[in-house]
Amino acid sequence: MIVTNMTRQTRVANKVFVAKSFLDRLKGLIGTPPLQAGEGFLLPGCMGIHTFGMNYPIDVIYLNKSSEVIALLENLKPNSLGLVKFTSCAVLEFPVGTIRRSKTQAGDQLAINGADELIEPAVVKPIPCFRL
C-alpha cells in the first residue's frame, strides 16, 4: 500500500504492510528488523500502540475514520507506551524521520492506496473504524 499526505502533497511511504489478522496485530513489529525508508505498518482499528519488545524507535501517526491525522509521535523509543486516542481508527508506524520528511502535521488528510496484488492504485477510501 502507498500512503500519501494529500494536504502537503508528499509521499509518506511506498510500501506499507497491513496487520490483517489478530496475530498480525498482536505481534506488530516485535522481533522484526527496523523498517527501511519508505516502509510502514498499518494497524486498522487501533487506538494505541506500544514498543515493548522492539529494539528500534518509530514514528507513529494516528488516523480518524476519515484518514485525517489526529496525533503524531516522533521517535517513540523501544519499550515505551504510545498515546491512546479513543477517536483513532488506525495507526501507522514508520521509520524515525518519516513524519519530518513528509511534513505531516495534525489535521492533514492522508490517502492510503493500492495493495500488493493490485497493479493500479485503488480508489482512496476512508479507514474503516472497527474494534477487535
d(CA 53, CA 80): 9
**pLDDT band at residue 113 using 50, 70 and 90 as cut-offs:** confident
Confidence grade of residue 123 (pLDDT, cut at 50, 70, 90): very low
Give counts: helices (H), strands (E), the chain.
2, 10
pLDDT at 114: 66
Burial label for 94, CB within 10 Å (0-12, 13-18, 19+), is buried
pLDDT over threshold 80, residue 56: yes
> How confident is the model over 40-62, as a mean pLDDT?
95
Cα dihedral sign, 23-26-28-30: negative
When pLDDT is cut at 50, 70 and 90, the band that residue 130 belongs to is low
Whether the predicted pLDDT of 132 surpasses 60 = no
pTM, rounded to two decimals: 0.86
Q: What is the mean pLDDT of residues 68-82?
A: 96
